[in-house]
Every structure is written in C-alpha cells, then in structure tokens.
C-alpha cells in the first residue's frame, strides 16, 4: 500500500530535495560558473560595477560580450542584479575599442595604448570606472573575459592596469573526431559535432564551446580527425562545417579541416594524388576556392600524411615539402595556412622510430612555402607520460614550427586518472634546446622569438566530448583550461593557472584551493612513477593503450610493441640512444647531448630513454637500477593513495556531485596504479631475477593473470 505523507512532511522533503538538487553541479559550466558572490565578499562593490556597463559598438562580438556579462551577473547575484547596458562610455564598466573611446579616456590611457597588440587588451581602473579596451573586437572579448575572471577569483580592483597580448598567434585545438561521431583517443563520450543535425540545428553546446575557448584565448579549431575522411571536403559537409564556423566567428575562432592527401582520387577519381601533377594542383586550387565560398575566413588544413597508413607524398616519391606546398599553394590566395604534421614514421624504415621525423624534416628546412607550419609533437615518440623534447625544436630556423600537445589522456590514464598536464607541458616548454646557446627554450621557438618565424602556432588534441561535464573526469577540465592559458603565454605560472581554475570552477575557499592545488601540482610525477618511471616508454597495452603491457611484442609492426622500446633482458633494460646505439642523441645540440650522454649524469627521469643499464648497476640514489625501478613504482602507488586521502578531506567544501565523482575516480586511479606497478614489476622481475625490495608491496596476482587480463570495448579507438 502506498504510504501517504502528511503535508508538512511532504513539504519538508520537497524543500530538502530542491535544496539538494540546487547544490548539485554537473560541471557543464566549466570554469565559467560565475558562482554566487556571498554578501561578505565585497558584493556591493561588484553589484554596482556589473549593474552599469557600457559596451560601445554593435558587432556580433559586442553582442557576445553583452550576453556574457548578462550571464555572469545572473550567476554572481542570482537575479537580484540585471546589468543596464549603455551605448556611450558612461558605464561603471566601459568596454570599447580604442577608437571608440571618448578623447578624454584615450588621453588618460595614452601611456598604455601603444602596448596593446592586435589580439591584446588593456584593463584599467580610473576613478570609479573600469575600462576594457583593445584594438580589435576579439581583444575586447578577451579583455571582458579577463575582467570577469578577476571577479571570479576575487582579485582586488584598485589600481588595476593589465596589458595582455598573446605570445603565440594561432592557439588551436585539434579534434580527432570522426564524421560518425566516434572520437579517436576520446574518453568523454561522442563527438560534440552532430553532423547529422547540422547545418540546421545549432546545439547550445557549440556556443558554450566557443565561449569556453574564447575565455582562454583559443582562436582556432580543427574539428575533424587527422586520420582524415575526404568526405568532409564535399559540399554536404562543407555546408555543415560552415554552420559551425558561423557560431565560432563572433568568438574569434577560425575553423580548420583535416585534408586527406588522396582526396582528389577518392572524391573525383583522379588517377593520382601526386603533388607535382598539374591536374592534382588544379583540383586542390578549385577545392580551396569552393571551401572559401562556404567559409570566407576558413583557417586552413591540418594534415597527417605518410604516417600510420595515411596517404602522402611518399606514395609518389615526393618529399614532405612537396606535399605541404601543394596545399599551401591552393590556400595562399585566401590567406589560409597548412599545418603539416611531422609525425611521420614508417615500419619499413629501419632507423629508431624516434629519429625518423628529424631525419626527414631537417633537410627540408627552408623548403616550405611561407604559409606552411610544421606541427611537431612535444616529444620524438608519441605523447608518452614523459619524453625528452622533440629534437626538431631549435633545428628548423627557416621553417615555422608549432607544438602539438595531447590534452586527451591516451597514455596517461585516459578518462579516470587525475593528472595535471600543465606540469608536463611546462617541462617541455621550459626545456632548453641550446639552438642559439643558453636560454633557447622550446617556448622561444614557439613564440617565434628565437628564429623570427613569420607564423607562430600551438595546438592541443582536444579532450572533450558529449559527456555532460565535457571531459569525463571533472579534473580534466583543468587540462583544457591550462592549455589555453599556456598557449596564450607559454611561460605562464602553472601554479597560478591551477589556482585560478580551481577558484573559477569549484570554490574560492582558501582551504579548498590550497589542498586541491597541492594535489594537482604533485599529480604528474606520481603518475609517471606508477606508469613509466626512469624514462621507460611505450609499455602500455596494445592498440587501445589502456593499462600496462610491457610484454607486448610481435605482430605487424615492431615499432608498435613494448619490447622494441624497453629491450629488457637479463643483462639490463633500456634503449641505447647514444653513439653506441641508435645515436638519436646526435639530433640534439651539443650542450643537450652532453647533459644526456653520460649515464652517470643524466637525469634519472630520462635514464632508460637514452641508456641501456644493467639491473644491478648502482645509481646515484644508492639503489640498484632494479631497486630504484621497484621503489619508484611503489612511490607512485603511494602518491595516488595520498591524492585520494587528501581529496577526502575536502568533503563538504565543494558540491557533492563533483566531490563524489572525483572520489570514485580516485578509487579507480589507485587500483590502476597498483595494477601498473604489479604487472610491470612482475614482468621485469623475470629479467632482473631479484626479489622486490621490502618497501614494495607484494603483487596481488601473478604475471600470467596480468598478461591474460581481458579488456573489452575500451573507448577511444
Ligand atoms: O598517438 C597516436 C595515436 C593515434 C593517432 C596518432 C597521431 C590520430 O595512438 O590514434 O592518430 O598518434 O597522432 O596521428
């Protein structure tokens, strides 16, 4: 019999449930939460500021700015304040391009104005007014987001003078999204691009995507997989892509597509795709013209060629420059760019895979047309948990190079491990190539200052999908956010980025921020310890890459196996990349070489990347190699447990929904850390033939169990 509730009790339950639901947070709003400003937090000051706003001008970007302030005010004050917008400069917040500001303001800002670049902005507080100005519409939008961020993180307003300019011109996302909406190496659901409903239905998520990206300065996106489908270049899909471009345009984001090298053959039955063939060149020229009819500000092509089965100029005995220039020539009349990936390697080339891109591209330096940028992954292999920087950085003074980072965590725990990628990127960006002596950092290659590049760009492989919170793991939103901030300024302070993100996304409570930030900043070395300590690499499971697989061997391609890379035997372990081995080290400048060629001196983080070491070799830590490896795996597991226990202290300090999702993912992380440790140590122990140090826990299962462990339907492939 159904139970009848007495009215007051029913009411109480309803109120309780509503309260509960209201405090839940599914994370959809990312770092643009605009969380309520509590009374004690200078609410009055913020209220008066945001109730009175001048936005001078009427472009779609100006409209976007108005909408953003409206949204922000709704969030901050829960409807109690609704901004009044003025068209003149009288508002307490005054947003207008330099040329639109009254003369008196232009004079007052005269000292700062020359510092503002094309995409930059100035925020200036004068008397009781806050002025946001820029030379371009997009600069105004960036400045507006910066002002809103200042409020979100509750920074002080007095004497505000902020001049910001991006250090890299093109700050991009690469989606590895297929037209059927699966996402290669995507762990957060399906592709957000709903091709089937486009162009007629514009999902709100596209607009929120544009807002989120603009808020961190991302100004370019390539929406299709580099393992490309030529169909996207046909009218049916171009019309759909154009609809996306229309949404992104007011937010200053240019759309790019991936070009399949064999498209002329696949789409129009040309007998060849040879880059030097006149008919092929004419085909691409006509295709470019057609694309620009749909998307007048089309950004250009991202291309994966001659790699992992993708067609390319090699098929015709041509060089990578011939291939890139073919497309560059077609895009040139419209100002389009070609991002040509250097991730080129072949199982038929006997050389160490990590050397192949350099061998192929270095001799082509200066042979690319001036609208080509060569896109280089951060390391010479493939987004491993830790790699030395790619030797091409610093080695191509006459060809603009751009960075490709992977924001999605193909090799770093996929959707359930919490690891702050900003720490990894910082290591790479700050690495010194010594191309022009001390201080020739990778970030100076990217910002163009080292070689005076005519184009500068950076990209990150997106980690988002249809999951309600965009990224699967709530903490993986931080990677998207940090990527944007570091693309804007590769020297940005990662601690400050983490702090801003936590405050904007979760809570400004200092106790919460300091504990959560500490977890974030320590997470990266922890994950490296339990996956690939001491420079180990490519020891994950085959194909889907989830979990350990140091035993992976044989099959179609040696360079896709673990044994090719770790080379473990009873004598030792590691890939000799010194002069006595593959000599990959010769691709680096002498100062770098010197740091790494001596096994006694090299950072232990890179030891087995460059050296083959005997198991009982004593390292400078006092441990043998075997002991050190085992202890690092153990340290990683303990680190993951520490993350879990630190997070548990934050119960009640953030909304329950995200708190418990992170807590449950940390459970997975701890158990997978143990899995990595046990599987790898049992496997390597066969060669080391020594017992585990006493500080290392005994494995839960035997090696056969781990090697036979069945995994089904791992996402992302
Ligand atoms: O990391 C590897 C991935 C492939 C990917 C390739 C690439 C898009 O395993 O899934 O393909 O790199 O970067 O081209």
- What HEC string does 267-322 produce? HHCCCCCCCCCHHHHHHHHHHHHHHHHHCCCCCEEEECCCECCCCCHHHHCCCHHH
Catalytic residue among 100, 306, 410, 674: 410
CB-based pocket (< 6 A), ligand 1: 176, 184-185, 226-227, 304, 308, 343, 382-383, 410
Q: What share of the chain is helix, strand, coil (3-state, %, to 5)?
A: 45, 10, 45
CA distance 341 to 375: 4
Closest CA to 76 of 49, 36, 113: 36
163 pLDDT higher than 60:
yes
Residue 495 phi/psi, 5-degree rounding, is -70, -40
Q: pTM value?
A: 0.96
Confidence at residue 23, expressed as pLDDT on a 0 to 100 scale:
64
User: Where would I find the H helices in 453-493?
Assistant: 477-488
Catalytic residue among 329, 382, 404, 489: 382
CA distance 687 to 280: 54
- pLDDT tens, position by position, 337-369: 999 999 999 999 999 999 999 999 999 999 999
Give the atom of ligand 1 at the shortest distance from the alpha carbon of 411.
1
> How far apart are the CA of 111 and the centre of ligand 1, in A?
48
- pLDDT tens, position by position, 205-251: 999 999 999 999 999 999 999 999 999 999 999 999 999 999 999 99
Give the atom of ligand 1 at the shortest distance from the alpha carbon of 383.
1
Measured by CA distance, the residue closest to atom 1 of ligand 1 is: 382
Instruction: Provide the angle, in degrees to the nearest 10, between the axes of the packed helices 510-531 and 625-648.
Output: 150
Q: What is the CATH number of domain 170-492?
A: 3.20.20.80
Give the atom of ligand 1 at the shortest distance from the alpha carbon of 545.
9
Mean per-residue pLDDT over the chain, rounded: 95
H helices, E strands: number in the chain: 22, 14
- Residue tagged 């491990």 (tokens): 417
> How far apart are the CA of 338 and the centre of ligand 1, in A?
19
- pLDDT tens, position by position, 631-668: 999 999 999 999 999 999 999 999 999 999 999 999 99
**Which class would CATH give 31-164?**
alpha beta
Alpha carbon distances (Å) from 55 to 74, 134, 162, 577? 18, 12, 19, 59
C-alpha torsion sign, points 460, 463, 464, 465: positive
Closest CA to 418 of 647, 213, 190, 215: 647
CA distance 337 to 375: 12
- Residue tagged 């041509």 (tokens): 318
Give the atom of ligand 1 at the shortest distance from the alpha carbon of 310.
14
pLDDT (average), residues 482-499? 98
Sheet holding 93-97, edge to edge: 84-86, 52-56, 93-97, 129-134, 121-126, 161-164
Determine whether 586 is an active site residue.
no
Determine whether 115 is an active site residue.
no
21 pLDDT higher than 70:
no
What secondary structure does DSSP assign to 313-355, as a single string?
A: GGGGT--HHHHHHHHHHHHGGGT-EEEEE---B-TT--S-HHH
- Counting ligand 1 atoms within 8 A of each CB, the residue from 310, 378, 382, 714 with the most, and so the one to mutate, is 382
In this structure, CATH architecture of domain 528-575+612-708: Alpha-Beta Complex (3.90)
How far does Cα 439 stand from its chain's mean position? 25
Let me know: does 205 contact 320? Beta carbons within 8 Å. Answer: no
Percent of the chain scoring above 70 in pLDDT: 97
- pLDDT tens, position by position, 382-431: 999 999 999 999 999 999 999 999 999 999 999 999 999 999 999 999 99
User: Where would I find the H helices in 122-197?
Assistant: 137-152
Confidence at residue 16, expressed as pLDDT on a 0 to 100 scale:
38
- Counting ligand 1 atoms within 8 A of each CB, the residue from 176, 339, 412 with the most, and so the one to mutate, is 176
Contacts of 293 (CB under 8 A, 6+ apart): none
Determine whether 591 is an active site residue.
no
> How far apart are the CA of 367 and the centre of ligand 1, in A?
26
Catalytic residue among 184, 239, 308, 605: 308
* All structural domains of the chain with their residue ranges: 31-164, 170-492, 528-575+612-708
8 pLDDT higher than 80:
no
């Amino acid at each position: 019999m159904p139970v009848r509730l007495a009215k007051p009790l029913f009411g109480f339950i309803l109120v309780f449930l509503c309260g509960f639901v209201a405090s839940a947070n599914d994370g959809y709003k990312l770092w643009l939460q605009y969380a309520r400003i509590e009374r004690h937090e200078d609410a009055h000051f913020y209220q008066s500021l945001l109730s009175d706003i001048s936005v001078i001008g009427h472009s779609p970007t100006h409209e976007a700015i108005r909408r953003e302030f409206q949204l922000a005010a709704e969030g901050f004050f829960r409807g109690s304040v609704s901004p009044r917008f003025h068209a003149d400069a009288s508002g307490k917040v005054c947003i207008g391009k330099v040329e639109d500001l009254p003369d008196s303001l232009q004079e007052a800002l005269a000292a700062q104005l020359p510092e503002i670049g094309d995409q930059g902005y100035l925020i200036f507080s004068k008397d009781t007014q806050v002025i946001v100005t820029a030379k371009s519409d997009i600069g105004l939008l960036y400045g507006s987001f910066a002002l809103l961020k200042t409020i979100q993180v509750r920074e002080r307003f007095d004497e505000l003078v902020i001049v910001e300019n991006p250090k890299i011109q093109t700050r991009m996302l690469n989606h590895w999204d297929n037209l059927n909406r699966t996402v290669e190496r995507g762990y957060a659901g399906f592709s957000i691009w709903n091709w089937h409903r486009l162009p007629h239905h514009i999902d709100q998520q596209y607009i929120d995507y544009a807002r989120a990206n603009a808020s961190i300065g991302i100004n370019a996106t390539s929406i299709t997989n580099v393992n490309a489908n030529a169909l996207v270049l046909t009218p049916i899909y171009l019309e759909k892509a154009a609809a996306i471009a229309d949404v992104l345009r007011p937010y200053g984001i240019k759309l790019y597509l991936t070009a399949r090298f064999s498209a002329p053959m696949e789409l129009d039955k040309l007998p060849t795709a040879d880059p030097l063939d006149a008919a092929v060149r004419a085909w691409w020229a006509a295709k470019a013209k057609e694309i620009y009819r749909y998307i007048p500000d089309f950004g250009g092509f991202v291309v994966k060629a001659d790699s992992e089965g993708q067609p390319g100029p090699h098929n015709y005995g041509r060089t990578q420059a011939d291939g890139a220039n073919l497309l560059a020539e077609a895009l040139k009349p419209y100002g389009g760019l070609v991002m040509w990936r250097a991730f080129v390697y072949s199982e038929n080339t006997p050389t160490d895979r990590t050397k192949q891109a350099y061998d192929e591209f270095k001799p082509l330096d200066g042979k690319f047309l001036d609208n080509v940028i060569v896109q280089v992954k951060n390391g010479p292999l493939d987004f491993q948990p830790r790699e030395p920087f790619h030797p091409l950085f610093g080695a191509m003074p006459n060809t603009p190079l751009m960075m490709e980072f992977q924001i999605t965590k193909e090799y770093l725990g996929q959707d359930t491990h919490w690891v702050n990628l900003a720490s990894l990127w910082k290591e790479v960006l700050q690495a010194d190539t010594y191309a022009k002596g001390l201080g020739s950092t990778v970030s100076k290659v990217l910002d163009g200052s080292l070689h005076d590049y005519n184009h500068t760009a950076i990209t990150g492989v997106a980690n988002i999908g249809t999951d309600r919170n965009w990224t699967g793991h709530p903490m993986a939103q931080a990677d998207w956010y940090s990527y944007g901030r570091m693309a804007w300024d590769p020297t940005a302070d990662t601690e400050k980025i983490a702090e801003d993100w936590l405050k904007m996304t979760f809570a400004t409570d200092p106790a919460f921020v300091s504990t959560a930030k500490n977890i974030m900043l320590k997470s990266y070395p922890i994950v490296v310890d339990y996956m690939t300590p001491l420079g180990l690499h490519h020891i994950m499971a085959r194909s889907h890459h989830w979990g350990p697989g140091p035993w992976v061997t044989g099959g179609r391609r040696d360079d896709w196996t673990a044994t090719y890379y770790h080379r473990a035997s009873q004598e030792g372990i590691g890939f000799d990349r010194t002069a006595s081995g593959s000599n990959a080290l010769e691709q680096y400048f002498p100062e770098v070489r010197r740091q790494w060629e001596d096994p006694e001196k090299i950072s232990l983080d890179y030891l087995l990347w460059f050296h083959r070491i005997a198991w009982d070799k004593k390292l400078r830590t006092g441990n043998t190699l075997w002991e050190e490896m085992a202890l690092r795996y153990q340290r990683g597991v303990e680190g993951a447990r520490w993350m879990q226990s630190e997070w548990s202290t934050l119960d009640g300090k953030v909304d329950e929904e995200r708190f418990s999702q992170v807590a449950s993912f940390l459970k997975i992380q701890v158990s997978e850390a143990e899995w990595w440790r046990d599987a790898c140590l049992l496997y390597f122990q066969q060669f080391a033939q020594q017992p585990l140090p006493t500080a290392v826990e005994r494995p839960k299962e035997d090696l056969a169990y781990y090697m036979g462990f069945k995994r089904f339907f791992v996402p992302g492939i």
